[in-house]
């Protein structure tokens, strides 16, 4: 098993290049819109007890928002639920969900995100959203925008994906090993992502994702796809949209993780990406940037 991890790590670190992010000092921006919300989407095997913040996750990123005046449990932070939720007194309350619920087909999860945003927007007509998704959560956010907001992008300000299987999953042997310990790793969504990768050429999936990303940025949506080189759950070539030379096609960033901190302890830094300062800074910058009223400027 250790040999498999070493082989996967070596493959994941070959031929990947990174583009620089916007410098930290440029984060000294005012929060321009009170009606901008961040929706955090956790990934496979997560859970929620029905409270807005207890299992929201993204702890480091949320704490970094204090530099622009948002609290750790700010009302502008919304938690996505794999079973939906409701708005009470203008506040979003996620429904409880169990790890098994995260294994449902992606289409079901996308529909729950749509219902969430539609319901919340009824109570907050001027709301804008920054979608921040880790692993499967990022894929759900990306698919949601493709399906519903390429023609009508107005409510979506940004989409940031973190180690997300945008083009499926290729490390299926490792996933099978994980499934012996946690049944959700053998769920329908994992099989769906594995099949997608196997059929990526026949279905033209890579080209479709790249075209969707292009249309997002042309519509004025801030897009970034991040990944870590050493991730043995989601190959960074499948989580970051890159060209034939390995350069990312958006504001994303391929990060080198701390080997001692992450590779074997954390499935090759799959979770470690949530604690990178540059990633947190970019999310905050997207949140703070003024909206483009014309929705046509793609110089982000």
Dist. CA 164–CA 204, nearest whole Å: 19
Q: Pairing between strand 222-228 and 156-162?
A: parallel
pLDDT, one tens digit per residue, over 201-254 is 999 999 999 999 999 999 999 999 999 988 888 988 899 887 667 677 777 877
Q: How confident is the model at residue 274 (pLDDT cuts 50, 70, 90)?
A: very high
Where helices occur in 154-250 by DSSP H, the ranges are 172-179, 188-198, 200-203, 205-218, 236-239
**Length of the chain in residues, anyone?**
300
- CA separation for the pair 121, 119 (Å, rounded): 5
The answer to whether residues 187 and 212 touch, using CB atoms and an 8 Å cutoff, is no
CA dist 189 and 102 (Å) reads: 8
Q: Could you identify the residue written with the tokens 């410098």?
A: 23
Q: Give the start-to-end residue ranges of the domains of the chain.
A: 2-15+39-288
What is the CATH T-level fold of the domain 2-15+39-288, as seen in this structure? Rossmann fold (3.40.50)
The CB density around residue 194, as the number of other CB atoms within 10 Å, is 18
State how far the Cα of 13 lies from the Cα of 266, in Å rounded to an integer: 16
Using 50, 70 and 90 to split pLDDT, how confident is the model at 266? low
């Amino acid at each position: 098993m250790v040999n498999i991890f070493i082989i996967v790590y070596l493959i994941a670190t070959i031929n990947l290049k990174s583009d620089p992010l916007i410098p930290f000092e440029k984060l000294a921006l005012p929060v321009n819109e009170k009606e901008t919300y961040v929706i955090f989407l956790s990934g496979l095997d997560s859970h929620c007890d029905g409270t807005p913040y207890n299992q929201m996750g993204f702890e480091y990123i949320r704490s970094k928002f204090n530099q622009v005046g948002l609290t750790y449990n700010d009302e502008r932070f919304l938690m996505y639920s794999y079973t939906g939720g409701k708005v009470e007194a203008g506040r979003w309350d996620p429904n409880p969900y169990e790890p098994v619920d995260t294994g449902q087909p992606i289409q079901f999860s996308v529909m729950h995100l749509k219902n969430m945003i539609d319901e919340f927007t009824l109570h907050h007509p001027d709301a804008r959203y920054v979608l921040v998704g880790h692993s499967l959560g990022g894929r759900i956010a990306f698919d949601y925008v493709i399906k519903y907001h390429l023609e009508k992008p107005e409510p979506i300000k940004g989409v940031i994906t973190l180690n997300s299987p945008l083009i499926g999953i290729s490390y299926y042997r490792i996933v099978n090993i994980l499934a012996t310990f946690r049944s959700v790793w053998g769920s329908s969504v994992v099989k769906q992502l594995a099949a997608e990768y196997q059929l990526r050429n026949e279905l033209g999936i890579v080209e479709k994702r790249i075209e969707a990303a292009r249309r997002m940025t042309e519509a004025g949506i801030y897009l970034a796809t991040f990944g870590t080189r050493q991730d043995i759950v989601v190959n960074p070539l499948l989580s970051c949209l890159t060209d034939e030379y390995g350069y990312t096609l958006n504001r994303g960033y391929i990060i080198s993780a701390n080997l001692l901190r992450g590779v074997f302890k954390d499935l090759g830094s799959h979770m470690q990406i949530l604690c990178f300062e540059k990633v947190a800074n970019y999310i905050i910058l997207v949140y703070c940037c003024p909206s483009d009223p014309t929705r046509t400027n793609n110089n982000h």
